[in-house]
Structure 1
Amino acid sequence: MSATLSVRDLRTHFFTKEGVAKAVDGVDFEVAPGEILGLVGESGSGKTVTGFSILGLIDPPGRIVVGSSIRLGGEELTTASPERLRAVRGAEVAMIFQDPMMTLNPVLRVDTQMIETVQAHSNVSRAEALARSRAALVQVGIASPDERLRAYPHQFSGGMRQRVAIAIALLHKPKLIVADEPTTALDVTIQGQILFEAQRLCRESGTAMIWVTHDLAVVAGLADRIAVMYAGRIVETGSTADVIERPMHPYTKGLIGSVPSQNTRGHKLTQIPGMTPSLLKLPRGCAFKARCPIAIDKCNEMPALEEHQPGHWARCWRAAA
């Protein structure tokens, strides 16, 4: 089965007066139809910039460096015209933002916003657009859709607003959805419901999804595969089971060790010492070496992302050490 999205050597740099910040620096991955890829890392790791790059939403002084490749169903997006990118956004690639109020206009009713979204990409009547909007709300588990369509965003809870944002993303049955930490601000119960809906929708519709998050616990029960990012690079990737149960990179181990669980009750959580390095002044070699408990002199050279086990890749000289 051919990939819905194929990213090759993606480099998104920000050219500032202080220097070049390499927010994304040579990232490769694929997402298949109906698959959920968890893109995981600390703040500043480059995961959100990766998602914005896919949709062509990078503003100056940032830009995607020549030679990068983002192919959606075989179509190259890095060289697409602004008009073509506007046609792709929403129709073929949709994004769910962390804060649903970034998606929803607080002064317009939900039906107005959803109808406008449908008619922006489809030449249909208002009645047809309204019917599609109602069906989308039902699809994400919103009861009394007719009543909800006539409401304003401020009349919804945070979880309901996020469901509406997901419904808007689904209106055109996109090939790919990029979800940028959409459950971070929600309570645990609502978060679980949203994760269940996302997983079900991908299975039923064949839509591919990239779930951007800093929380490994979230993607452990959601994603089919995980890609761990650090300082603009993918440092480990593989099936969810392999990455969670048999992590190879010390950074991945640190992230897993810092997740609270019943096994750590009464004990201090494991910490990853230090801070993420400045993207303007990345150290020579492995960017994680200053925080790594098993670093060696060889770490002054940049390791390649290598397949150490079938389907399980890591960028480390001492993978699984």
Structure 2
Amino acid sequence: MSGDTLLTVRGLRTHFPTPAGTIKAVDGVDLMLKRGQILGLVGESGSGKSITGFSLLGLVDPPGRIVEGTLDFKGEDLRAASPDRLRALRGDRIAMIFQDPMMTLNPVLRIGTQMVETVLAHRKVSRADARARSVEVLAKVGIPHPEERIDAYPHEFSGGMRQRVAIAIALLHEPDLIIADEPTTALDVTIQSQILAQVQKLAAEMGMGLIWISHDLGVVAALADEIAVMYAGRIVERGTVDEVLDSPRHPYTQGLIASTPMANDRGRPLRQIPGSAPPPLGRPEGCPFRPRCPRATETCLVDPPETLVAENRGWRCFHPLEGTP
């Protein structure tokens, strides 16, 4: 693994056995992330984005489990790591920002108490030093008067400020990797843009890698360096933001782009992808997008391999587009 490569995922498969059959929530995902890079993981609800993030952190609840694949984090095999080692990594070298900040924050404890305990869980420092570090990070994410606000309870913050606190907790130990699971979905567009700009700036300043999970292609386009488009548990297209958005190859990617509201399309009905995503236990034979794809043929009854034209540029389609957005 090259010196600036932070994370390499190969053939990740996470399954959930049920009485009716096995749900293949993640079905052969490959990812690579470098230091200071922001990767956008996009797709419809149920495509496997969040489970991919949870798999990287070892947070998949039973009966779900990783059945195959390699997770190489800075040269360390995360699948071989013991539970104690994973606990040591989580919150320290790898952090997660959840969609709902109240999943991170305890409503009956002051913000300062929660942040100080997070510092002490991974560092042997005094409480005064831990508090000073917490105030410093709150200021970094744009919390006004952090010396005072650190003693407030979560309910005394607005939704946007609570999300900033959740981001601050993730940044406490200056982790190498942050996984953000749709953290701005519930916020209004003004607060959302402020947080996106702040996160982008912090990633560049701290040299950390960031995986931004979202169903909003517009948000990812404004934030990420590279995009991985996910459908039915697989990456169906990946590349730089410009490559994927300006020259989409997979029909699903083109459908996502076409269904995004544009300022110059005011008054026109939005285009939509026909049909709906396949149910977890009812995925079609061959290409999972085949029933919804206008380019599908009998060839698509076979599972398409990935076509790679560069290290991080590829797609899974027998009939790729010519690049017209």
TM-score (normalised: structure 1):
0.98
Structure 2 counterpart of 1:156:
157
Please list, as runs of the form range in 1=range in 2, the aligned pairs for 1:165-244 lying within 5 A after superposition. Answer: 165-244=166-245
Structure 1 counterpart of 2:45:
43
Question: Judging changes above 3 Å, is the alpha-carbon distance between structure 1 residues 311 and 26 closer, same or farther for their aligned structure 2 residues?
Answer: closer
Structure 2 counterpart of 1:62:
64
* 2:289 pairs with 1:288: yes
* 2:145 pairs with 1:144: yes
Question: Judging changes above 3 Å, is the alpha-carbon distance between structure 1 residues 308 and 317 closer, same or farther for their aligned structure 2 residues?
Answer: farther
* Matched residue SS, 1:128: helix
The counterpart of 1:12, out of the listed 11, 14, 39, is 14
- Alpha-carbon shift at residue 263 of structure 1 (Å): 2.2
* Matched residue SS, 1:127: helix
Matches of 1:92 and 1:263 in 2, distance apart?
43
More deviation, 17-26/257-266:
257-266
- Alpha-carbon shift at residue 308 of structure 1 (Å): 4.2
* Matched residue SS, 1:212: strand
Matches of 1:240 and 1:167 in 2, distance apart?
27
- Alpha-carbon shift at residue 2 of structure 1 (Å): 3.2
Structure 2 counterpart of 1:72:
73
Matches of 1:54 and 1:95 in 2, distance apart?
10
* Matched residue SS, 2:253: helix
Counterpart of 1:252, as a letter, is T
Matches of 1:271 and 1:97 in 2, distance apart?
28
- Alpha-carbon shift at residue 254 of structure 1 (Å): 0.4
Encode CA deviations 1:255-297: one digit per residue, 9 max, x unaligned. Answer: 0011001122111101111111112121111000000011111
The counterpart of 2:24, out of the listed 13, 22, 25, is 22
Counterpart of 1:6, as a letter, is T
The counterpart of 1:32, out of the listed 27, 31, 34, is 34
Counterpart of 2:128, as a letter, is A
Structure 1 counterpart of 2:124:
123
More deviation, 259-268/52-61:
259-268
Structure 2 counterpart of 1:53:
55
Encode CA deviations 1:160-218: one digit per residue, 9 max, x unaligned. Answer: 00000000000011110000000000000000001001100110000100000000000
* Matched residue SS, 1:78: helix
More deviation, 56-65/308-317:
308-317
- Alpha-carbon shift at residue 309 of structure 1 (Å): 6.4
Counterpart of 2:174, as a letter, is K
* 2:302 pairs with 1:301: yes
Counterpart of 1:182, as a letter, is P
| Structure 1 unaligned spans of 5+ | none
Please list, as runs of the form range in 1=range in 2, the aligned pairs for 1:242-281 lying within 5 A after superposition. Answer: 242-281=243-282
Q: Percent of pairs identical after alignment?
A: 61
- Alpha-carbon shift at residue 224 of structure 1 (Å): 0.2
Counterpart of 2:6, as a letter, is T
**Matched positions, count:** 320
Please list, as runs of the form range in 1=range in 2, the aligned pairs for 1:94-113 lying within 5 A after superposition. Answer: 94-113=95-114
Matches of 1:34 and 1:297 in 2, distance apart?
43
- Alpha-carbon shift at residue 311 of structure 1 (Å): 4.4
Counterpart of 1:249, as a letter, is H
* Matched residue SS, 1:221: helix
| Structure 2 unaligned spans of 5+ | none
- Alpha-carbon shift at residue 141 of structure 1 (Å): 1.2
Counterpart of 1:162, as a letter, is Q
Matches of 1:182 and 1:195 in 2, distance apart?
10
Matches of 1:138 and 1:122 in 2, distance apart?
21
Counterpart of 1:50, as a letter, is T
Matches of 2:45 and 2:297 in 1, distance apart?
26
Counterpart of 2:217, as a letter, is L
- Alpha-carbon shift at residue 57 of structure 1 (Å): 0.3
Counterpart of 1:4, as a letter, is L
Q: State the superposition RMSD in angstroms.
A: 1.0
TM-score (normalised: structure 2):
0.97
Matches of 1:310 and 1:14 in 2, distance apart?
31
